[in-house]
Structure 1
């Protein structure tokens, strides 16, 4: 990575952190340049506008996440249910700092960027889970009568629900325990008899 690439990466990483925690409307490229200790002219050489920077930050974030997802999906060692668990925990780790108010700010201020963000999110998160359920159905682990899109969305929505502070405050469990219970409940309803046998027997395939 040459000096120019390093500088661009540095800007993107900083912008991702700011966009995710403060939002789009509350920040400015002039402030970014100042806090990164570079001139405005240098900053604008890489990103001429805040909107262009937002799109680049979204793509950089999802490109990196997609690489992580592929390493999970392509690993043939764990079972498909263990892959799902690893994938969902990776999703939580990546998206944990993204505030709901920030996403709403994207939607209002830059609807095109919001649509782009949502399209990539659906393709990577929901698309990956659908692929895993389809794979599991072919292997006889998951029920073939359950639409993969439906069960993938149920799983995603359930995990997202656990993130709300009022949910955690009202339970006697921490996130890790609740995640384990919810994941087990949904998996139990999705497994075939063969899938349960493998799970109970500790089989990896």
Structure 2
């Protein structure tokens, strides 16, 4: 990787973190340049403006997630139970990284990007998860009584809501206090609930044996 490419990726990663956490409109090129420790003049040599940077950030995020998901899907050596767990965890943590603040912001101010991200989440993540459930049911590894569409809806709801502060505020204080503070732990528990609920006894046994 040459120096220019390395610096470009550093810019994308910094911008991604800022956009996904705080939204698009509230972040300026000045904020990004300061976070990088570079001048705005140098930053503009790589990207013409914030909108271009947003488009590249989103496209780069989609590409990386798609590549990771595809690796899980196409690995013939990975047992189904492990494949399902890896897909749930990878997709959940990656999509949760895209905050509700960011999504609401781009829905209002950059609707074409919001449409792109929403379509991607639906097609690349949720529909692939649905196909994996179908595969498991055909192999007898997912319970035949499981409604695959409802499971996908529950999973999507968990991803969209569990890290949303607006969602937390509607819950009783006693419930809020019992929820882990670490986002990765929250999703690990959510994945466990879905995972344990849909697998057949055979698949659960296989997974436990693999865990050793």
Q: TM class, shorter-chain normalised?
A: 0.7 to 0.9
Aligned position for 2:193 = 181
Sort the Cα spacing of 1:169 and 1:64 in 2 relative to 1 into closer, same or farther, 3 A.
farther
* Aligned partners of 1:155 and 1:183 also within 8 Å: no
Structure 2 residue runs without a partner (length 5+): 181-185
Aligned position for 2:84 = 84
Sort the Cα spacing of 1:5 and 1:142 in 2 relative to 1 into closer, same or farther, 3 A.
same
- 2-side partners of 1:146 and 1:49: how far apart? 48
Give the alignment's Cα RMSD to 1 decimal: 3.0
* Aligned partners of 2:134 and 2:148 also within 8 Å: yes
- 1-side partners of 2:130 and 2:47: how far apart? 36
1:183 positional shift: 3.0
Aligned position for 1:157 = 157
Q: Once structures 1 and 2 are overlaid, which stretch shifts more, 82-91 or 151-160?
A: 151-160
Q: Is 2:115 the partner of 1:115? A: yes
TM-score (norm 1): 0.78
1:25 positional shift: 1.0
The 3-state SS of whatever aligns with 1:170 is helix
- 2-side partners of 1:200 and 1:147: how far apart? 18
1:139 positional shift: 2.5
1:1-205 superposed matches below 5 A: 1-142=1-142, 148-158=148-158, 160-163=160-163, 166=168, 170=175, 172=178, 174=180, 175=186, 176-185=188-197, 187=198, 196-199=200-203, 201-202=205-206
- 2-side partners of 1:200 and 1:41: how far apart? 56
TM-score (norm 2): 0.75
Sort the Cα spacing of 1:199 and 1:33 in 2 relative to 1 into closer, same or farther, 3 A.
closer
How many residue pairs get aligned? The number is 196
Sort the Cα spacing of 1:143 and 1:97 in 2 relative to 1 into closer, same or farther, 3 A.
closer
* Aligned partners of 2:81 and 2:204 also within 8 Å: no
